[in-house]
């Protein structure tokens, strides 16, 4: 009997707990629903915190600077998140940069007239 792609079980490592599991989809990343939720909830919380910091730096710069919210602050947030991941014994909580570039790179760069590599000449405002 011929197997379709969705019927084939693949061995994967859970992004959250690091356990090996078999998944039926080639994109399976989590061994269980609790692991999937934990990973996504941690990213949502951290993402909102970073969003607020970056938006304050960009659009409320004077107050952000007075309060010590700058790139050093954001980098320290990242270091704190990384240390939390290590303490929780979970795998890295951020996606591969290639995935991020695939998803956002073309959209962000095209909007500002930059090349895909992130450099190049600015052609549009």
Q: Which of 35, 64, 69, 90 binds Zn ion (CB under 5 A)?
A: 35
Long-range contacts, stretch 51-56, CB < 8 angstroms, 24+ apart: 53/77
DSSP-H helix ranges across the chain:
33-59, 61-66, 71-88, 97-100, 106-112
Residues 47-106 that bind Zn ion (CB under 5 A): none
Q: How far is the CB of 39 from Zn ion (least distance, A)?
A: 8
Q: Which of 12, 14, 69, 90 binds Zn ion (CB under 5 A)?
A: 14
Rounded Cα gap, residues 36 and 17, in angstroms: 10
Rounded Cα gap, residues 48 and 27, in angstroms: 26
Closer Cβ to Zn ion, 39 or 64, answer by number: 39
Q: How far is the CB of 10 from Zn ion (least distance, A)?
A: 15
The contacts of residue 6 (CB under 8 Å, 6+ apart) are 24, 25
Q: Which of 1, 2, 10, 17 binds Zn ion (CB under 5 A)?
A: 17
Q: Which stretch binds Zn ion (CB under 5 A): 28-36, 37-45, 63-71, 108-116?
A: 28-36
Binding site for Zn ion (CB under 5 A): 14, 16-17, 31, 35
């Amino acid at each position: 009997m011929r197997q379709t792609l969705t019927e084939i079980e693949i061995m994967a490592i859970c992004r959250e707990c690091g356990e090996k599991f078999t998944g039926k989809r080639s994109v399976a990343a989590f061994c269980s629903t609790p692991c999937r939720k934990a990973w996504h909830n941690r990213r949502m919380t951290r993402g909102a915190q970073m969003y607020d910091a970056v938006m304050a730096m960009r659009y409320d710069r004077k107050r952000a600077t007075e309060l010590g919210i700058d790139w050093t602050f954001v980098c320290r947030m990242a270091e704190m998140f990384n240390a939390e991941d290590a303490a929780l014994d979970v795998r890295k909580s951020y996606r591969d940069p290639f995935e991020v570039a695939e998803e956002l790179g073309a959209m962000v760069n095209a909007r500002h007239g930059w090349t895909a590599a992130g450099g190049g000449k600015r052609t549009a405002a």
